[in-house]
Amino acid sequence: MSKNESNQKPTNFIHQIIEDDIQNNVHGGDVVMRFPPEPNGYLHIGHAKAICLNFGTAEKYKGICHLRFDDTNPEKESQEYIDSIISDINWLGYQWTGEIRYTSSYFDQLYSWAKHLISEGHAYVCDLSAETAREYRGGFNQPGTDSPFRNRSVEENLSLFERMKNGEFKEGACSLRAKIDMNAANMNLRDPMLYRILHTSHHQTGDKWCIYPNYDFAHGQSDSIEGVTHSLCTLEFEDHRPLYDWFIENLPVPSKPKQYEFSRLELNYTITSKRKLKQLVDDQVVTGWNDPRLPTISGLRRRGYTAASLRHFCDMIGVTRSNGIVDMGMLEAAIRDDLDSTVPRAMCVTRPLKVTLTNMEAGVEEWFELPAHPKDESMGTRRVGLTRNLLIEQEDFVEVKPPAKNKHEKWKRLALGDAVRLRGAYVITCNEVIKDATGEIIELLCTYDPATKGSNPEGYKPNGVIHWVSEELSLPCEVRLYDRLFTEANPDGDKERNFMDCLNPDSLVVLPDARVEVGLKDAPAETRYQFERTGYFCIDKDSNADKLVINRTVTLRDSWAKAKN
């Protein structure tokens, strides 16, 4: 689809609004977006949705998009998070316009606007404690009560606010509040807090400030300073929109941005709550923010997901205002779709079973030149070596074939007395099974048919095709099999049970004795492959000169596994 065609029709309700605005010359026809993360954790798949929406919308309508760190709470934020967020956005393939913005760099302007509000009689310094203020606020069914400090004079408020800024009060001693309506049905309008005292140094502004604006007082005005036209956020901020607008109307701001809300992304069998993700990291349930089991951008990246697949996934799920839980299968479909056409094939035996080719001389090597991709010749070829001693997958052999009632249940692998094709090489027949004292199969004695290189055998038919490696001409590797982190589809949603109680004990299975074809030698971290018949894999950064470490991104679709169930 050409860029022009993709612009033919709006893809979601936000785009409809923007197209109407452009049509009607609202905001002078400009489209200025922004992605405003708080640097208090790593970005996850839900943020990817917001990133694609904001940056993608700017691209689509030839507008611009800022990156702004919404850093008004120094107690929970850090430079580490800032760095990770920058890296994740770049990796996803987006570039913000101009410098990185920080809400904290608007603190002077915000402070002066707070004084403006006070001067207009729209804000006051309140000495109520947080707890008392909560009581005064009332409830959903009770009106609030005016603070006893609500009618302080402008002069007194100005003086008190300056003293707050100068550090004359302890944390919690007082706060600046907007004077709106303690009877408002919308709780956000019951004289919301604007500034609190926090004797905490800030990762960007150091010790310059001991009062910090909160989200509501900072966000819309920051949007306005940057000339943001369409300020997108998630549904839970919908009730804040009247407040957002109230500040824009009551302050001499340079532009009038509009807030629009869309629904958060929820994915089943995982969590997308920064607080809970942080708990998994802090409690060492996972190895870090980039653990491949986490739905963080860095975790998905380490798992083997591509940026393109994440962007495609975001296109697939759309943008609406209805709450839903997207099936993890959609994410998997997105990565399979990408990797199938872009990634070279290789063979890896994850749980090896020894096979001896009795009619092949020891010490002889035969090399096969196999295509890197079955449909894309431009990807070239790879060399795979065959010797007398082979390794095949344990689950690719049975002594006696299981009965098959239909073609889906047919055994298409090796069996005693049967033949099977070694992928890209010869057809072999299993003549004898060797077991140890416990009865476990430890070796297969087979013969290969020299006439079957590149052509079908005469007089008999192999069951199917299996993958293999030579024992000598292969590399040792550790394969890490990942599965869903939780056993429940909605670990977050059950109020009775804690999400920590439904962790999947098999979310990581380590296979230490896998072998992979020699072509993977020295492959750098993040190199991706399809291991034929097995799945998509990715070299992990834990690899070293002696041993590759390989993460399974996702299995291949497996109709055999389905037929068995």
Partner RNA sequence: AGGGGUAUAGCCAAGCGGUAAGGCAACGGGUUUUGAUCCCGUCAUGCGUAGGUUCAAAUCCUGCUACCCCUACCA
320 binds RNA (CB under 7 A): yes
Residue 454, interface with RNA (CB under 7 A)? Answer: yes
Residue 264 annotated among the catalytic residues of the structure:
yes
Assess whether 336 carries a catalytic annotation: no
Site residues (CB under 7 A) for RNA, limited to 65-124:
70, 72-73, 76
CB count within 10 Å of CB 380 equals: 11
Q: Cα-flanking dihedrals φ and ψ of residue 198, to 5°?
A: -145, 105
Closest CA to 551 of 531, 565, 532: 531
Binding mask 521-540 for RNA (x = CB under 7 A): ---------x-xx-------
Could you give the string, one character per residue 468-507, with x where binding to RNA holds by CB under 7 A and - elsewhere? ----------------------------------------
**185 makes contact with RNA (CB under 7 A):** yes
Q: Interface with RNA includes 197 (CB under 7 A)?
A: yes
- 31-50 residues near RNA, rule: CB under 7 A: 38
Q: What are the residues whose beta carbons fall under 8 Å from the beta carbon of 145, sequence distance 6 or more? A: 136, 138, 182
Nearest distance in Å: CB 97, RNA: 21
- Exposure letters 58-85 (e unless 16+ CB within 10 A, then b): bbbbebbbbbbbbbbbbeebeeebbebb
Least distance CB 340 / RNA (angstroms): 5
562 is annotated as an active-site residue = no
Contacts of 9 (CB under 8 A, 6+ apart): none
Asked if residue 183 binds RNA (CB under 7 A), the reply is yes
Is the CB of residue 457 less than 8 Å from the CB of residue 419? Answer: yes
> Which of 152, 177, 196, 274 is an active site residue?
274
In DSSP terms, 357 is beta-bridged to 446
Distance in angstroms (rounded) separating the CA atoms of residues 116 and 111: 9
- CA–CA distance, 493 with 509 (Å, rounded to integer): 27
Amino acid found at 195: Y
Task: Name the residue nearer to RNA (CB basis): 220 or 352.
Answer: 220
Report residue 557: phi and psi, to 5°: -60, 140
371 is an annotated ligand-binding site residue: no
503: tokens are: 């962790």
Shortest distance, position 315 Cβ to RNA, whole Å: 9
- Select the residue interacting with RNA from 154, 333, 508, 511 (CB under 7 A): 333
Lay out the site mask for RNA across 279-318 (x = CB under 7 A, - = otherwise): -------------------------------------xxx
Kind plus residue range of the DSSP H or E element containing 517: strand 508-517
Instruction: Supply 123's token pair.
Output: 């804000």
CA distance 175 to 154: 15
544 part of the interface to RNA, by CB under 7 A? no
Q: How far is the CB of 483 from RNA (least distance, A)?
A: 16
- The crossing angle, in degrees rounded to 10, of helices 241-250 and 215-225 is 60
Per CB under 7 A, 399 contacts RNA: no
Query: Could you say which residues in the range 347-386 bind RNA, by CB under 7 A?
Result: 373-375
Q: In angstroms, give the least distance from the CB of 415 to RNA.
A: 10
**Which residue ranges are tagged as binding site for ATP?**
38-40, 44-50, 234, 264-265
Catalytic positions: 38, 264, 274
**Which residue ranges are tagged as binding site for L-glutamine?**
70, 215
